[in-house]
Structure 1
Amino acid sequence: MRRPPRGLSGIRGSRTARRVGHRLPTTVGAAALLLTVVACGSGSEPVEPARTATAYERPAWMDNQLAEDADLVARQSRCLTERGLDFRTDELGGFYSIDPALDSALGEALGECTRSILGSAYRAPLTTSQLHGLYDRQLDTRECLLAQGYSIPEPVSESDFVASEGTAWSAYEAFVEALGALPAESADAEQVRMNAECPQPGLAGL
């Protein structure tokens, strides 16, 4: 199964298995709910992207989120290395066990490392304030994806998004569907490119 694009890393979204080895999720916090929206989408036909991007100036939180994502992955990697575990990471910060038989051990250690790094934020439910902020960031992400030539449906209302605890809508859902229309290698490259251009909303600074 092709993994959905990555999500949240100050509290971060998760990923699924990939081609080489087994990719372990780095999900922490209730923001993983956004992945649920992506993975359990409407089932509509893939959305073909347009190929011409429009002028767009992305908000500062996106760069801050990418920096926090990278910092978390670096700290997780150091923690795992100190524990003597053998693993790989990919371009999106996913973790792979070199030996599939050690998936469970790596997954358990990754959870312990992440908990030690994030403390009380680890798997904490989102506050109402965070949900409102996350909704605004979803709108920003939609504008970014539109500027990159993707057709992204209108969002649900903010009240519905908050009431659903963030599961009612994700700007990335249509993008994930569009990846399904591309060859595997092209989809992987596009996923990496778009994660840098239009990162999924996270909670950094919220």
Structure 2
Amino acid sequence: MAHAQWARLAVGSLAGAMLCVLSGCGGGAGDPVAPAWSPPAWFAQQAQKQEEYRVALQACLDGKGWDLTVTSLGGVEEGLSKADMQRFPGDLDTCRTSMGLPTQPPPKTDAELRDEYRKDLDVRACLVAQGYAMAEPQSEDAWLDAARESYDPATTEERLREIVMWTPYGDPVIDALPPSNVDELTTVCPQVAF
């Protein structure tokens, strides 16, 4: 008798499960299931490079008498006066040179640009995984055209303002966040910088 009850329970459970699967009772037909996301290896490598850069630049600027807090991307948290804006770029260039870095970025090859685009896609995936509804990125070909022109030293300042080059942190959703939230996000989803 107990065996018959168990068999009916098993058959009933199986029939219920099949009906559930066929009718889509899990989450509604067509509901996307977000894949698990994990950061690519380059995130950790870049975080280490950014911290080394930040520490070295902070020490150099401190040595030049600046009372500023350097961010992970080499910016400063504090605002600068007009007088400071006259002096700061020169000191920044001197510090970068002393750190073995160029004052202007060298031209990038197409392979380097394609790698940068793929990394931007990784950053976008990270931001989406954090719950941000991001716009679709620019196509790789359109991005490459914009990148080539924006990195070209012959491109005028006026033309640079006209070029549309997609970046995950330029997305309107992210751009609308307070700077402190963006700084926190960059610790999880780093901007492509190194």
User: Which TM-score tier does this pair reach, normalised by the shorter chain?
Assistant: 0.5 to 0.7
C-alpha offsets along residues 40-88 of structure 1, whole Å, 9 cap, x if unaligned?
A: xxxxxxxxxxxxx9842111111211211111121112222333x2221
Structure 2 unpaired stretches of 5+? 1-33, 149-163
Does 2:177 match 1:195?
Answer: no
Aligned equivalent of 2:56: 75
The one-character-per-residue Cα deviations of 1:129-154 (angstroms, maximum 9, x if unpaired) are 21010011011011111101111122
Task: Answer yes or no: is 1:134 the counterpart of 2:116.
Answer: yes
1:168 paired residue number = 165
What number of residue pairs does the alignment pair up?
144
Which ranges of structure 1 fall in alignment gaps of 5 or more residues?
A: 1-52
Q: Aligned-pair RMSD on alpha carbons?
A: 2.7
Q: Using the TM superposition, name which of 61-70 and 120-129 deviates more.
A: 120-129
Which position in structure 1 is the counterpart of 2:13? none
Structure 1 or 2: more helix by fraction: 2
Rounded to whole Å, the distance in 2 between the matches of 1:75 and 1:169 is 30
Query: Which structure features the higher share of strand residues?
Result: 1
Q: Residue 88 of structure 1 is aligned with which of 57, 62, 68?
A: 68
Match of 1:21 in 2: none
1:111 and 2:93 matched: yes
What residue in structure 2 maps to residue 156 of structure 1? Answer: 138
**Distance in 2 of aligned mates of 1:145 and 1:97:** 26
Asked whether the 8 Å contact 1:141–1:199 carries over to 2, the reply is yes
Contact 1:54–1:148 (CA under 8 A) maintained in structure 2: no
Equivalent-residue separation in structure 2 for 1:168 and 1:98 (angstroms): 26
Amino acid at match of 1:79: C
Are 2:38 and 1:57 equivalent residues in the alignment? yes
Return the TM-score normalized by structure 1.
0.59
Tell me if structure 2 keeps the 8 A contact 1:54–1:149.
no
* Alpha-carbon distance change, 129 to 80 in structure 1, aligned in 2, over 3 angstroms: same
Give distance in 2, aligned partners of 1:126 and 1:190: 31
When structure 1 is superposed on structure 2, of 191-200 and 99-108 the one drifting more is 99-108
Distance, in Å, in 1 between the alignment partners of 2:50 and 2:105 is 16
Distance 1:121-1:147 versus aligned 2 partners, 3 A rule: same
State the percentage of identical aligned residues: 26
* Cα contact 2:43–2:189 (8 A) shared by 1: yes
Going from structure 1 to structure 2, the CA distance change for 1:81 and 1:66 (only over 3 Å counts) comes to same
Residues in 1 aligned to 2:47 and 2:130: alpha-carbon distance in whole angstroms: 18
Instruction: Sort the Cα spacing of 1:87 and 1:98 in 2 relative to 1 into closer, same or farther, 3 A.
Output: farther
Higher relative contact order (CA 8 A, sep 6+): 1
Does the 8 Å contact 1:66/1:199 carry over to 2? Answer: yes
Q: Residues of 2 paired with 1:150 and 1:70: CA distance? A: 26
Give the alignment's TM-score, normalised by structure 2: 0.63
